[in-house]
Every structure is written in C-alpha cells, then in structure tokens.
Amino acid sequence: MTAARARAHVVTRSIDGPHPAVGSPADRVHEPHGTITRARCMRRRRPAPMDDTLRAVRAGAAEPAGPACATGVLRPDMVPFGAPDGDVYGRAADAVRAADFLSVVGTSPRVEPAAAVCATAVDRGAASAIVDTEAASYDDFASDVPRGDVEPVVPRVVAAPEAGGPPVG
C-alpha cells in the first residue's frame, strides 16, 4: 500500500454505511449527509447506534434514550439536503484541505453539501479527478475528467501517479 492510500479519506453522500462495511477506517470516512446506521438525540445531539435504538423499540421501550440522550427523542442521524452537519462537514473539509489529490466519484459534485468539497480542493490547488457519466459544475477545475461507469474507471484513476499509485500503462 502506498503512503497516499494509507492516508486516504472518504467523503461520501452515502447514508447507508457502505464504506465502513467494506473496511474503510471509520475515522477516515466523512458522511456530511449523515447516516442511517446511527440515531441522534434531538436535545444533546449525541449519537447512538441505530441497531441499539431499534432493538429497544422492538422490546417495547417508549423512549429508548439510553446514555446518549436526555429526552428520549431520537431520530435517524441524517442531514437534509443543503443543511450540512457542521462537525462532520468540518472534518471532511479539513481532510480535503490536507489532500494532494481528490477523486470525486459519481454524482457527488452535483449535490450539496458533499459538492462543496470540490470547491475546497480547488481553493487549495489540489489535483483532482471527477469520475461520472455526466458533466458537473466542477469539471473545468479538475485535473482529469474521465467519463464512464465508475466501476471500470475508478481503478485507473486511483492507480494514476497523481493519486500516489503506480503509473498507468
């Protein structure tokens, strides 16, 4: 594994937890749109595992508060479009500001708040690749804009020298 890959972070629009599920380190996955894998206390904003919350409800708890919540009012830890979670988005922006290379895959550059990481990379001057089947607003700022389905294209982008991988032949 290259040093660049060892430092890789994932900023994702996915809300169903696919990146940690396939082994991405949880402290390097940033979910500015939230996730359905956690509940969040409406008062204290503390997270709780969604599985624990659902188990308590199924067992008959009217207010499955637990130690994470003072009120018992929990909701899925998701963020409406255009209203990023400041803490999560801040950590994602910090990771992008520290990056030498940004790979944007799929429709991310068209949906806020995840699209804003593209602006952060542009402001920083980081090299970037935007992989999608359609044009996006940040394409003109990207170092590379390969078009096509992500499955065959992403491995080539990740292996490119700008991304810290071996030369593509």
- The C-alpha angle 120, 15, 79, rounded to 5 degrees, equals 70
30 is catalytic: no
DSSP class of residue 39? E
The closest alpha carbon to 114, from 9, 22, 37, 36, belongs to: 9
Q: Which member of 9, 19, 30, 33 is catalytic?
A: 33
Q: What CA–CA distances, in Å, run from 140 to 12, 130, 164?
A: 21, 10, 22
Taking the CA atoms of residue 163, residue 32, residue 25 and residue 119 in that order, the dihedral angle to the nearest 10 degrees is 20
Residues known to be catalytic = 33
